[in-house]
Amino acid sequence: MSAGSESRPVRFEPWRLGVLYAVVALTLTGFVIRLVNLQVIDADLYRTRAVDNYTLEVSVPAPRGIIYDRNGYVLARNVAAYNVVITPANLPVDDSDIQRIYRELSELIDVPVGGPITDEALEEAKLFAACVPGPSIAQLVALQDTLAPYSPVKIKCNVPEEIARVVEEKKVDWPGVTVEIVPVRDYPTGSLTAHLIGFLGPIPASQEEELRARGFVPNRDKIGYAGVETSLQDILAGRNGLRVVQVDVAGQEIRNLEPPIAPVPGHNVYLTIDTRLQAAAEATLQEEIRFWNTYFGTVRISSGVIVAMNPKTGEILAMVSYPNYENNRLSRIIPAYYYEQLSQDPRKPLLNNAISAEYPPGSTFKLSTATGAFNEGVVDLDSIIQAPGQLLLCERFNPNDPCTDRNTRPFVDYIFEERPEGFGALSFLQCIAYSSNVCFYKLGGGFEDEIPQGLGIERLQQYARALGYDAPSGIQLPGEQDGLIPDPQWKRINTGENWSTGDTYIASVGQGYVLATPLQVLMSGATIANNGKLMQPTVVRQVTDGDGNVVEMWFNPEDFTVTEFQTEGSYQISPFTPNMKWDITVEPLIQEYSCEGPYCTLTDDFKVVNPETVAAVRAGTRRTVTDPSFGTLYDLFTDFPIAVAGKTGTAEYCDDVARAAERCRFGAWPTHSWTVAYAPFEDPEIVVVAFAYNGGEGASVAGPMVARVIRAYFDIKASDIAQGAPSP
């Protein structure tokens, strides 16, 4: 620089300084706004997140209620199961010690140790559910160590108690290894009561959201999958407890943040079943099926049912469905192979045939036809009905159809082959006692000038419903079917054809489109036995808490909800109170019809069933036992020390099984075997129904089963009286 040069001052423009101040101000304002947002506006949100980071809610499982029979015999209970678990955080630091523990444990529980842990090994372990064989010990522990090292991982489940004791003894030498004790369901009576009790299973994905909101824990808690384990789930399950604890970053519990909420145990349930009678009924059914299958040299009878009930109270004393299954095999886990075996069995052993299977009821349905015909004046005690071995019916689909050879159809009696002339002249009581099909054809559909106006299908439907058909009973068991009593409208909708007079004939004897469950057949017999009073069938006698105190409960049969207060459409189940569905001699259940020719139309009037009608039908069922000529139950009960009454049934059928076997041939249809009977006649204590699929004649197959169960009931009663114990 030359000596004469001058330095110029740096010129700083004011606007630049203003921009700098503005940037600093905006930055500070942003920080302040952010701080206000974090500390004031969203303070609760971030405080909640912070609390959530160290807070853990631990669900405490509630003990499930115990199920007893009416005498206090245990049918379902909780027993201890033992799982070997490892807590990764508690394992030794030295890898050699860990490998030693793995090797010794592997030899004891037969789970592989496993090799080096790679990413592929961890991904493979994620594919397996808990307690499923596959991953090695090292894989399971390594996976858990990455997720929650202070939470135990199941290495092997359901180990024998002896192995569990060894693991507990080795706890000092095997740090981190311990035994987890969990309750599992045990069914002492097993297959004997499997269809009644059911079994438990994991929470399905479809119900996970709903049940999680109610405090259930998926993959741990179980719910009922069948029987009363399902229908009484809310009673038996109880309510899980809750612990709110503080945990560190590794998941280790530090302290309780709130007072723990103790779990509420499930209520105990006493069923109406008498296990002794249940065992007698099962033995009877299985022995009878075995005898006839051996006799014919083939599996002729594939399934069957026996149900016994007190007609005065509606209590189910025994309910046996064959074939059955072993619910203890499903109590810990549901083995895929066993469940597949059951579900693919064509005999459907998982199905409770007593309430979930529908069959033509055959001649047992004649109790409905007899009740309706007598009450409507179609017949009386002085009437004489001609019952030839065969009659020819002019079958009409419309009232004005002409009678020709093409629409003239023969209807034969079951005795036709042995006695072509038929029964001859019969009274009303003999029609019931002899179970004459021809007689009931005429009572149901009329015949020429002898019975110009029969009962008709519309009125028959009304009386059948009054005796318990065509609707679920409301018993506390899932899967109950409603059966079917058809009418002209049903046939037009489902087959596209008009109703015919022949359809009425067939329906009058419980054939054709008529379907019923064994329980519905039992209810019809119970209504007659109980002088017109139909009691609500029930398998629940009472509900108690853990201290044995009876808890008041109400049951809604429409949606299987149980409440501790009465609601519309519900009935009381505890303390036990017999609940009457209706009394057909008091409540006007029968809608009157105005009939002209073979067809009837509804009116707005209703009426009751006269007590004289019920008395007449009861007299007919008694004559079934006392009439030595053709009484269908005479040979079975002629020397029986107690007065018995009942009705047999032999129902022709043609289902998919019979069709596949090419057995659906006119005049040679396969038949189901039915019998329903009650005793003592004057003051009934028990009514029993027996059913044998493809069993043949009712009096020969189902009849002996009913006789044995009734005899067993009174033998048990006599034994209880002798010992001073309450009778069934």
Does 593 share its domain with 552?
no
Band of the pLDDT at 250, cuts 50, 70, 90?
confident
| Sequence-ordered list of residues with C-beta below 8 angstroms from that of 454, at least 6 positions apart, any chain | 373, 378, 442, 443, 444, 445, 446, 447, 504, 508, 598
Residue 164 within any structural domain of the chain:
yes
Average pLDDT rounded to a whole number, residues 385-407: 85
Does 167 share its domain with 197?
no
Query: Residues, the chain, total?
Result: 728
Does 256 share its domain with 208?
yes
Query: Cβ distance 179 to 327 under 8 Å?
Result: no
Looking at residue 728, its pLDDT comes to 64
Looking at residue 461, its pLDDT comes to 96
Q: How many domains does the chain have?
A: 3
- The pLDDT tens digits of the residues spanning 193-212 come to 999 999 999 999 999 999 99
Average pLDDT rounded to a whole number, residues 350-365: 97
CB neighbours of residue 55 within 10 Å = 14
Q: Count Cβ neighbours within 10 Å for each residue of 213-251 and write b for 16 or more, e otherwise.
A: eebbeeeebbbbbbbbbbbbbbbbbbbbbebebebeeee
Does 583 share its domain with 523?
yes
Q: Give dist(CA 27, CA 49) in Å, integer.
A: 27
- The CATH number of the domain holding residue 65 is 3.90.1310.10
Query: How many whole angstroms from its chain centre is CA 468?
Result: 19
Residue 516 within any structural domain of the chain:
yes
Looking at residue 11, its pLDDT comes to 62
Looking at residue 661, its pLDDT comes to 77
Query: Cβ distance 181 to 168 under 8 Å?
Result: no
Q: Give dist(CA 205, CA 189) in Å, integer.
A: 31
Helix (H) or strand (E) holding 181: strand 177-186
- For residue 365, the one-letter residue type is F
| Residue of 268, 215, 223, 269 whose CA lies nearest to 243 | 215
Average pLDDT rounded to a whole number, residues 692-709: 96
Q: Give dist(CA 227, CA 196) in Å, integer.
A: 5
CB neighbours of residue 299 within 10 Å = 11
Q: Give dist(CA 528, CA 639) in Å, integer.
A: 23
Residue 93, pLDDT above cutoff 50: yes
Which of the listed residues 187, 213, 229 is the one where a domain comes to its end?
187
Band of the pLDDT at 284, cuts 50, 70, 90?
very high
Which of the listed residues 187, 215, 243 is the one where a domain comes to its end?
187
Q: Which domain holds residue 240?
A: 53-73+190-271+540-577
Helix (H) or strand (E) holding 201: strand 200-202
Residue 347 backbone phi and psi in degrees, to 5: -80, -10
Query: Cβ distance 669 to 266 under 8 Å?
Result: no
Average pLDDT rounded to a whole number, residues 556-574: 82
Torsion sign, CA atoms 636, 432, 322, 480: negative
Residue 16 within any structural domain of the chain:
no
Residue 25, pLDDT above cutoff 80: yes
Residue 34, pLDDT above cutoff 90: no
Q: Give dist(CA 451, CA 443) in Å, integer.
A: 7
Does 474 share its domain with 511?
yes
Looking at residue 597, its pLDDT comes to 58
Q: Is 451 helix (H, G, I), strand (E, B) or coil?
A: strand
Helix (H) or strand (E) holding 28: helix 14-36
| Sequence-ordered list of residues with C-beta below 8 angstroms from that of 3, at least 6 positions apart, any chain | none
Average pLDDT rounded to a whole number, residues 596-619: 86
Lowest mean pLDDT of 13-27, 282-296, 662-676, name the range.
13-27
Average pLDDT rounded to a whole number, residues 83-94: 91
Looking at residue 16, its pLDDT comes to 72
Sheet arrangement for strand 304-309:
316-322, 304-309, 686-692, 671-679, 645-652
Alpha carbon of 101 to those of 121, 170, 277: distances in Å? 20, 10, 53
- The pLDDT tens digits of the residues spanning 150-164 come to 888 889 888 999 999
Query: Cβ distance 176 to 102 under 8 Å?
Result: no
Q: Give dist(CA 701, CA 284) in Å, integer.
A: 11
Average pLDDT rounded to a whole number, residues 117-130: 62
Lowest mean pLDDT of 89-98, 116-125, 128-137, 218-227, name the range.
116-125
Percent of the chain whose predicted confidence (pLDDT) is above 90: 63
**In the beta sheet, which residues pair with residue 410?**
392
Residue 120, pLDDT above cutoff 70: no
Band of the pLDDT at 1, cuts 50, 70, 90?
very low
Residue 3, pLDDT above cutoff 60: no
Query: Cβ distance 526 to 678 under 8 Å?
Result: yes
Average pLDDT rounded to a whole number, residues 558-573: 81
Q: How many CA atoms lie within 13 A of 297 on its CB side?
A: 0
Does 168 share its domain with 204?
no
Average pLDDT rounded to a whole number, residues 497-502: 91
Does 251 share its domain with 387?
no
Residue 721 within any structural domain of the chain:
no
Report which listed range, 77-91, 459-473, 586-600, is most confident: 459-473
Looking at residue 253, its pLDDT comes to 79
- The CATH number of the domain holding residue 485 is 3.40.710.10
Residue 368 within any structural domain of the chain:
yes
Query: Cβ distance 688 to 667 under 8 Å?
Result: no
Does 65 share its domain with 94?
no
Give the tokens for residue 642.
Answer: 């107690």
Does 554 share its domain with 530?
no
Query: Cβ distance 554 to 571 under 8 Å?
Result: yes
Does 292 share its domain with 410?
yes
Does 110 share its domain with 205?
no
Looking at residue 136, its pLDDT comes to 85
DSSP character for 61?
P
- The pLDDT tens digits of the residues spanning 452-466 come to 889 999 999 999 999
Residue 13 within any structural domain of the chain:
no
- The pLDDT tens digits of the residues spanning 166-186 come to 999 998 899 999 999 989 999
Which of the listed residues 159, 187, 215 is the one where a domain comes to its end?
187
Q: Give dist(CA 133, CA 127) in Å, integer.
A: 11
Give the tokens for residue 689.
Answer: 């129904």
Alpha carbon of 248 to those of 288, 504, 558: distances in Å? 67, 78, 49
Band of the pLDDT at 534, cuts 50, 70, 90?
very high
Query: Cβ distance 223 to 238 under 8 Å?
Result: no
Does 294 share its domain with 423?
yes
Mean pLDDT across the chain: 89
Residue 482 within any structural domain of the chain:
yes
Average pLDDT rounded to a whole number, residues 473-485: 96
Q: Give dist(CA 543, CA 554) in Å, integer.
A: 10
Instruction: Provide DSSP, 380-449.
Output: -TT-EEEE-SEEEEE--SSTT----GGGEEEEE-TTTTT-TT-SEEEEHHHHHHHT-HHHHHHHHH-BTT
Residue 378 within any structural domain of the chain:
yes
